[in-house]
Amino acid sequence: MDSGKSFEESLLQFVEELKDESEMTEKQRSIMQAAIKLFATKGFHASSTAEIAKEAGVAEGTIFRHYKSKKDILLAVVAPVLVKIAAPFILRDVREIFNRQKELSFGEIIRELYQNRLNLVAANEKHVRILLQEAFFHDEIRETLLSTVFQEIKRLAAQLIKDRTRAGELRPLPSDAVFRAILSSMIGLVLFKHVTDPDEFAKRTDEEQVAATVDILLYGIANRP
Amino acid sequence: MDSGKSFEESLLQFVEELKDESEMTEKQRSIMQAAIKLFATKGFHASSTAEIAKEAGVAEGTIFRHYKSKKDILLAVVAPVLVKIAAPFILRDVREIFNRQKELSFGEIIRELYQNRLNLVAANEKHVRILLQEAFFHDEIRETLLSTVFQEIKRLAAQLIKDRTRAGELRPLPSDAVFRAILSSMIGLVLFKHVTDPDEFAKRTDEEQVAATVDILLYGIANRP
DNA sequence: TAGGAAAGTGAGTAATCACTCGCTTTTTGG
DNA sequence: CCAAAAAGCGAGTGATTACTCACTTTCCTA
């Protein structure tokens, strides 16, 4: 590894060099599709290049015509999600929602945020799956994810929490605990919908689930004494 | 696979047959240790039996003297966590805490629960890591985890929520959303402490973080209008 | 439409994989 | 104290791995 550049820098460069989908060959697109399918279901290490080739209906050599190694395939799948979707796209919506502070109440902001995140995950389920799976093992991916996306969201949220607390809309509470509560509820929504309890979750619409969650986040589950 | 028995049943039998640590050979113990270390850092598929043998200071043949396949090593690591720790141990504490209903307020119950969970994860960090990683890929493990631990916790919580709502201690809310809120906050605590933001989290003690989290769960983050 | 570049192929390669087996060493119980 | 059983060993197995390369086909453009 060249220690001159950080993973983030080389990732950014890597994405720059990535062709976008329009100028891909048909074969190349089917390689990507096959890789996404296999990585999402079996994981990176358990998927062989032979399998990917077969699933894509392509000779194994063709894969290495476009990607110089197997890890390069993973990066080609993960990097755009990380840099193009996760970072700007995710953050763009979040920024937009947060910036409409003046028009919206805190509850409305959070409601929009949650709904938006649920939609985003639903639309990119496999990519999210791969990203999280590989973040478990690959320190580089995990740290990039944390240092870009998480830190930025945290910064944005901190500002919002500070403003709204000062305005008397929020209770005076440790701001890290408030941030954690907001994020936990969001993670809980995604987790219950997609992993732990999809059937139970689907008994009511996403909008209803979001509304109930925001209500609890704002006012808690207890009756006041 | 023999379709006569469910994975849970064979898992139970498997654990029955497992020697406990006291009657393991020294070599066998170091194989387990090496496997836990490697699986936790690199994942199951990325760790080779040659590596495990080397890390354990043991011939490769010795591994297969004790475990008939590589997957058997994983099960020997995961199964006791799943059946001995996750199921009875986890649930024992949860039951105990929940059953002291008469003495404790709802807030106290949740506070004890969260503290207990934080301690449990801290004490079994690597095992939890492996369990979650492999639950991603192996349907069997994920479904066992969900159908035993999750469903039982859900059942216990549903009863508690019902009682306390009827007693007027909790607001009348959809009980699945309340359950999700309780679990989300717990997951958030563990996640922030161990994965996303350990430095920030450690600025205050576990007890203080738990207290703030329970306060927010009960009364929300908003000022009442 | 000629010709060079890019895309695609699949047999071949060295390395590594999980696992076996014949062997030696250690432990155990009568 | 001895014999059988258990534990330990490491070279060796065929299968599979990621990857290469000489070759053919397709595409682009001058």
3-state secondary structure chain B: CCCCCCHHHHHHHHHHHCCCHHHCCHHHHHHHHHHHHHHHHHCCCCCCHHHHHHHHCCCHHHHHHHCCCHHHHHHHHHHHHHHHHHHHHHHHHHHHHHHHHHCCCHHHHHHHHHHHHHHHHHHCHHHHHHHHHHHHHCHHHHHHHHHHHHHHHHHHHHHHHHHHHHCCCECCCCHHHHHHHHHHHHHHHHHHHHHHCHHHHCCCCHHHHHHHHHHHHHHCCECCC
Residues of chain A numbered 28-87 and touching chain B (CB < 8 Å):
42-43, 45-46
Instruction: Provide, as residue numbers in chain A, all residues whose Cβ is less than 8 Å from the Cβ of B176.
Output: 197, 200-201, 203
For residue B119, give the amino acid letter. Answer: N
> Which nucleotide has the least CA–C1' distance to A49?
D18
Predicted TM-score (pTM) of this structure: 0.85
φ, ψ dihedrals at B170, nearest 5°: -110, 155
User: How many CB pairs lie under 8 A apart between chains A and B?
Assistant: 150
B202 touching chain A per CB within 8 A = no
Select from A41, A35, A69 the least CA-distant residue to A55.
Answer: A35
- Give the gap in angstroms from C-alpha B66 to the nearest C-alpha of chain A: 24
CB under 7 Å from any atom of strand D: which residues?
A 47-51, 60-61, 64-65, 68-71; B 25-28, 58-62, 64-66
Residues of chain B numbered 115-144 and touching chain A (CB < 8 Å):
129, 132-133, 136-137
φ, ψ dihedrals at B72, nearest 5°: -65, -35
Q: pLDDT-derived band of residue B87, with 50, 70 and 90 as boundaries?
A: low
Q: Take residue B56 and report the two structure tokens written for it.
A: 């354990």
From first to last of its 225 residues, chain A has per-residue pLDDT tens of: 344 556 667 666 666 666 666 678 889 999 999 999 999 999 999 999 999 999 999 999 999 999 999 999 999 988 877 776 566 555 667 777 777 767 789 999 899 889 988 998 898 889 888 988 888 888 888 888 888 778 888 988 999 999 999 999 999 999 999 999 999 999 999 999 999 999 999 999 999 999 999 999 999 999 986
- Give the gap in angstroms from C-alpha B23 to the nearest C-alpha of chain A: 33
Rounded-to-integer distance, Cα A204 and Cα B225, Å: 28
Instruction: Provide, as residue numbers in chain A, all residues whose Cβ is less than 8 Å from the Cβ of B223.
Output: 168-171
pLDDT value, residue B1: 38
- Cβ–Cβ under 8 Å, residues B56 and B34: yes
Residue A23's CB is within 10 A of a number of other CB atoms, namely: 7
Select from B94, B101, B131, B149 the least CA-distant residue to B116.
Answer: B94
Instruction: Provide the total of helices (H) and of strands (E) in chain A, helices listed first.
Output: 13, 0
What sign results for the dihedral spanned by CA atoms B174, B175, B180, B186? positive
Q: Take residue A203 and report the two structure tokens written for it.
A: 């008994």
pLDDT value, residue A90: 58
A12 touching chain B per CB within 8 A = no
Instruction: Provide, as residue numbers in chain B, all residues whose Cβ is less than 8 Å from the Cβ of A168.
Output: 223
A184 contacts B188? CB cut-off 8 A: yes
- Cβ–Cβ under 8 Å, residues A108 and B223: no
pLDDT value, residue B3: 42
Rounded-to-integer distance, Cα B137 and Cα B69, Å: 18
Residues of chain A numbered 152-171 and touching chain B (CB < 8 Å):
154, 168-171
